[in-house]
């Protein structure tokens, strides 16, 4: 009896002393009661997530995280960046350290089904490309037989590369490096003939070269890399919120609602704009959010186009064209279901 009491006491101490239990209620309630949204983000991908000199997180993914905070909490600044590496990102989401994953994550079958995530949309359509030095005189990825390839690991990149070279019956030498800064250095030194990663990453990396003009990105895109946010499986309400946060930014761009004209748009004649901004309809309540959730997103962050231009657009050092990520009305793939 005595001993059992002792063990019980010890175990209770361990359990109570070291751990703080959190309720496993819905994510939305958790976020609201905490007053802060925790986004799993990268430790640094140019244009998508990085700290500025004041320690504020910036980037395309971060802005979407802020948009989520604006919708749920009404304040885009109430975010916490849970930094993660490629290896730890899914665990951080699944263990509850983060509420949502906004981190350059390619949607694949195995991640959706095997790693047990719910992907709710594609906020950036990417594809794996190749960059070579112009002096090699290579014009197509099909001419790369026997080349050395620098790869930044942590993504689906190595698998795509192996598939591409196998499909074209070519041999290659892979140099798989963990971080972009080292992979970049290896490519620049001539260790590799080719640098391969997502096309957005290639453009971003090239912009940091001493002589960007000496390098070119080959026309072939060898893979589909739909990058999108993910939530834990089994919380449909929360997944809906993330999905419609993204949809709201796209719809706003489509309807011409921007952060500067959003107030005057409240008097618009277009019923869909009125529903989007919460003037009519009950979309907000149905999501479990305030009536003006989408208004807050657009007011504080802007629409999809504004977020794109600010972080990775042609006028930034990254300098990406809209391309596939243009609105469907302009020949791109960004398309939102109607607000109805």
Partner 1 sequence: MPGTHPDMPPPVKTTGPVAWVRQNLFSSPLNTVLTLLSIWFLWSIIPPFLDWAFVNSIWTAGNRQECWDQMASPALGACWAFIENRFSLFTYGFYPGHLHWRVNVSFILLVFALIPLLYEKLPYRKYGLIYSAVFPFITGWLLVGGYGLESVDTDKFGGIMLTLILGVTGISFSLPIGIMLALGRQSNMPVLRILCVLFIEFIRGVPLITLLFVASTMLNYFLPPGTVFDLLTRVLIIVTLFASAYMAEVIRGGLQAITKGQHEAGDSLGLTYWQANRLIILPQALKISIPGIVNTFIGLYKDTTLVLIIGMLDLLGLGDASLADAQWAGLANEIYIFVALFFFLTCFGMSRYSIYLEKKLHTGH
Partner 2 sequence: MDSPSVSTQKPSLLLRLWRNQEHRSIAIQIITMVILFSLLGMIGNNVATNLEKAGKEFSFGFLNYPAGYDITFQPFISYSPTDTHTRAAIVGILNTLLVAVSGVIIATILGFTMGILRLSSNWLVNRIVYVFLEFTRNVPVLLHILFVYGIFLYTLPVPKKAISISDTVFLTNRGFYTPAPVFEDGFNYVLTSILIAILIVFFFKRWAYKVQDTTGKIYPVFTISITILIGLPLLTFFFSGAPLSWEMPALKGFNFKGGTSIKPEYIALTFALAYYTACFIAEIVRGGILAISKGQSEAAHGLGLRPNRTLQLIVIPQALRVIIPPLCSQYLNLTKNSSLAIAIGYMDVVATIGGITLMQTGKEMETMIIVLLTYLFFSLVISAFMNWFNRKMALVER
Binding segment toward partner 1, per CB under 8 A, in 15-23, 146-154, 263-271, 273-281: 15-23
> Which one of partner 1, partner 2, none interacts with residue 19, CB within 5 to 8 A by kind?
partner 1
* Separation of alpha carbons 195 and 176, rounded Å: 10
Q: How far is CA 226 from CA 4, 94, 128, 154, 340, in A?
A: 55, 21, 11, 16, 26
Does 23 interact with partner 1 (rule: CB under 8 A)? yes
> Which one of partner 1, partner 2, none interacts with residue 161, CB within 5 to 8 A by kind?
partner 2
Taking CB under 8 A as the criterion, the residue among 82, 101, 117, 289 binding partner 1 is 82
> Which one of partner 1, partner 2, none interacts with residue 9, CB within 5 to 8 A by kind?
none
> Which one of partner 1, partner 2, none interacts with residue 163, CB within 5 to 8 A by kind?
partner 2
Choice between 155 and 247, CB closer to partner 2:
155
- Sign of torsion over alpha carbons 129, 134, 135, 140: positive
- Containing 91, the helix (H) or strand (E) segment is helix 89-94
Binding segment toward partner 1, per CB under 8 A, in 250-258, 272-280, 283-291, 313-321: 313-321
Does 6 interact with partner 2 (rule: CB under 8 A)? yes
Backbone phi and psi for residue 281, each to the nearest 5 degrees, phi listed first: 75, 180
* Separation of alpha carbons 97 and 91, rounded Å: 8
Does 64 interact with partner 1 (rule: CB under 8 A)? no
- Containing 71, the helix (H) or strand (E) segment is helix 60-73
Least CB distance to partner 1 at residue 209 (A): 7
HEC string for 104-160: CCECCHHHHHHCCEEECCCCEEECEEEEEEHHHCCCCHHHCCCEEEEEECCCCHHHH
Least CB distance to partner 1 at residue 50 (A): 4
Q: How far is CA 215 from CA 22, 135, 223, in A?
A: 51, 8, 21
Binding segment toward partner 1, per CB under 8 A, in 154-162, 191-199, 209-217, 239-247: 209-217
Q: Which residues of 134-168 are buried (b: 16+ CB within 10 A; e: fewer)?
A: eeeebeebeebeebbbbbbebbbbbebbeebbeee
Least CB distance to partner 1 at residue 226 (A): 22
Choice between 87 and 256, CB closer to partner 2:
87
Least CB distance to partner 2 at residue 62 (A): 23
Supply 109's token pair: 């079958």
Choice between 88 and 118, CB closer to partner 1:
88
Does 286 interact with partner 2 (rule: CB under 8 A)? no
Does 97 interact with partner 1 (rule: CB under 8 A)? yes
User: What are 39's strand-pairing partners?
Assistant: 81, 100
Least CB distance to partner 1 at residue 46 (A): 5
* Separation of alpha carbons 241 and 263, rounded Å: 23
Residues found near partner 2 in the complex (CB under 8 A): 2-3, 6-7, 10-11, 14, 86-87, 90-91, 94, 110-111, 114-116, 136, 144-148, 150, 153-154, 158-159, 161-163, 166, 172-179, 182-183, 185-186, 189-191, 193, 233
Residues found near partner 1 in the complex (CB under 8 A): 15, 18-24, 42-47, 49-55, 80-85, 87-88, 91-92, 94-97, 179-182, 184-185, 204-205, 207-211, 316-318
């Amino acid at each position: 009896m005595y001993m059992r009491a002792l063990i019980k006491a010890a175990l209770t101490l361990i359990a109570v002393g070291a751990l703080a239990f959190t309720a496993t209620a819905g994510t939305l309630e958790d976020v609201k009661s905490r007053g802060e949204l925790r986004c799993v983000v990268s430790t640094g991908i140019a244009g998508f997530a990085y700290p500025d000199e004041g320690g504020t997180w910036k980037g395309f993914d971060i802005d979407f995280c802020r948009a989520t905070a604006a919708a749920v909490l009404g304040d885009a600044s109430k975010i916490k960046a849970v930094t993660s590496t490629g290896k730890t990102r899914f665990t951080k989401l699944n263990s509850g350290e983060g509420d949502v994953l906004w981190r350059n994550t390619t949607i694949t079958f195995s991640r959706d089904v095997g790693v047990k995530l719910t992907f709710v949309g594609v906020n950036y359509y990417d594809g794996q490309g190749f960059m070579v030095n112009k002096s090699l005189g290579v014009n197509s990825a099909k001419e790369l037989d026997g080349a050395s390839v620098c790869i930044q690991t942590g993504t689906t990149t190595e698998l795509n590369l192996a598939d591409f070279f196998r499909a074209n019956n070519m041999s290659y030498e892979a140099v798989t490096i963990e971080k972009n800064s080292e992979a970049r250095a290896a490519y620049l030194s001539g260790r590799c003939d080719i640098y391969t990663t997502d096309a957005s990453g290639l453009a971003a990396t090239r912009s940091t070269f001493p002589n960007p003009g000496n390098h070119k990105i080959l026309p072939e895109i060898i893979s589909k890399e739909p990058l999108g946010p993910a939530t834990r499986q089994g919380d449909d309400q929360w997944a809906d919120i993330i999905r419609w946060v993204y949809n709201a930014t796209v719809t706003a761009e489509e309807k011409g609602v921007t952060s500067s004209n959003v107030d005057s748009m409240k008097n618009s004649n277009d019923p869909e704009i009125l529903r989007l901004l919460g003037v009519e309809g009950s979309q907000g309540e149905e999501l479990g959010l305030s009536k003006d959730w989408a208004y807050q997103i657009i007011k504080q962050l802007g629409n999809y186009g504004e977020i794109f231009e600010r972080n990775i657009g042609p006028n930034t050092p990254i300098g990406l064209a809209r391309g596939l990520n243009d609105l469907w009305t302009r020949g791109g793939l960004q398309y939102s279901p109607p607000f109805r």
